[in-house]
Amino acid sequence: MKCQKFKIFHIATLSSREKILNKIFNKIVILILPITLIAACSTTPPRARDISTTRNYLSNNVHIGGGESKSERKLLADSVCKNKLGSLFRAQDTSGYIGEKKIDGDRLTVQFFTCNVVPQENITGLALKAMQTRKFKTTPDVLVDSLRTFAQDRNGQCASWGEHKFVEHTTPPRSTSKNEVDCVMPYSSTVLLFQRIIASYVYADGYTTLRVRIYIPRTSQITEGAVYSEFFKRIADQLFIDAIELSPMEMR
């Protein structure tokens, strides 16, 4: 809004008493007027809002405009990332970009964020291995086929890294084989974001022990147990068998 100039007029025809009252009134106005004008002329920054385009969403980016501080924009960006991709994701200011943009007549401060996986803190290597490993009573070929089907059902694909066969000298001796499969598939149908699943397995005594590492490219390895539990459940349901958790001795 434009600030208007105010003038105080004296009327010559006023009586002495009225002139005194008018002077008092003028002094009060002179004291109050600057405060009123400052309040009237000041502008409060618009509230933070999501100004991302469809292209931003597809590339896993979020643009936040407005807000009084970085923390206000970050709070909203976190909410957008979680709504887009799930509770594993938070907004990260990876570029440090802060600019200005005029939107709907308002000049907004604009900040750029990327939705990334937040690594779980204070997790040991053994605990991570436990959540990423299951044992299936089936052969490696059947298990690999189920992995390929899992990926294909999600418009993805898998490739083998090569097989390594060896014999473990145990009592009694047992023949084992190890292989690794690399699968890539979309993480979301609405965001141009892929997940990579690296599966390594060992076959022994009629069981295939599968360890899976799930990554979101450009972010961190997923370390949330619920994600792996859901993955193993889907593979087990596909095979109509159980996904058996390993004992601490089996993981060593």
Q: What is the mean pLDDT of the chain?
A: 78
98 and 152 part of one domain: no
* Cα 177 to Cα 115: distance, rounded to the nearest angstrom: 39
Q: At a CB cut-off of 8 Å and minimum separation 6, what does 130 contact? A: 245, 246, 248, 251
Cβ density class 117-131: b for 16+ within 10 Å, e for less: bbebeeeeeeebebb
- Is residue 34 included in any domain, yes or no? yes
The residue-averaged pLDDT of 2-10 equals 47
The residue-averaged pLDDT of 208-212 equals 94
Give yes or no for residue 173 having a pLDDT over 60: no
* Weakest-pLDDT range from 115-124, 135-144, 165-174, 221-230: 165-174
Q: Which domain-ending residue is among 117, 133, 159? A: 117
What is the band of 170 on the pLDDT scale with cuts at 50, 70, 90?
very low
Give yes or no for residue 251 having a pLDDT over 80: no
Cα separations in angstroms, 164 against 51, 176, 197, 202, 235: 51, 9, 19, 10, 23
- Asked if residues 50 and 80 have their Cβ atoms less than 8 Å apart, the reply is yes
Peptide bond between residue 172 and the one before it cis (omega within 30 degrees of 0): yes
Q: How far is CA 38 from the centre of its chain?
A: 41
Give the structural domain span for 20: 14-43
Residues in the chain: 252
Q: For the chain, what is the domain count?
A: 3
E strand residue ranges, 57-105: 61-65, 89-92, 98-103
Cα separations in angstroms, 235 against 84, 205, 220: 25, 20, 23
Encode pLDDT of 125-143 as tens digits.
899 999 999 999 999 989 9
Question: Residue 242: its pLDDT value, please?
Answer: 81
Q: Which residue has the higher pLDDT, 105 or 124?
A: 124
Question: Residue 49: its pLDDT value, please?
Answer: 87
Give yes or no for residue 2 having a pLDDT over 60: no
Name the DSSP letter for residue 13: T
137 and 99 part of one domain: no
152 and 211 part of one domain: yes
Encode pLDDT of 37-55 as tens digits.
454 444 676 788 888 887 6
HSE value, Cβ hemisphere, 13 Å, CA-based, for 118: 13
- Is residue 138 included in any domain, yes or no? yes
39 and 150 part of one domain: no
Q: Which domain-ending residue is among 43, 58, 81? A: 43
Backbone angles phi, psi at 7, to 5 degrees: -120, 145
- Which DSSP string corresponds to 156-179? -EEEEEEEEEEEE--SS-EEEEEE
Q: At a CB cut-off of 8 Å and minimum separation 6, what does 51 contact? A: 63, 64, 65, 101, 103, 108, 110
Token pair 């991302």: residue: 52
132 and 224 part of one domain: yes
Question: Residue 178: its pLDDT value, please?
Answer: 61
138 and 229 part of one domain: yes
94 and 144 part of one domain: no
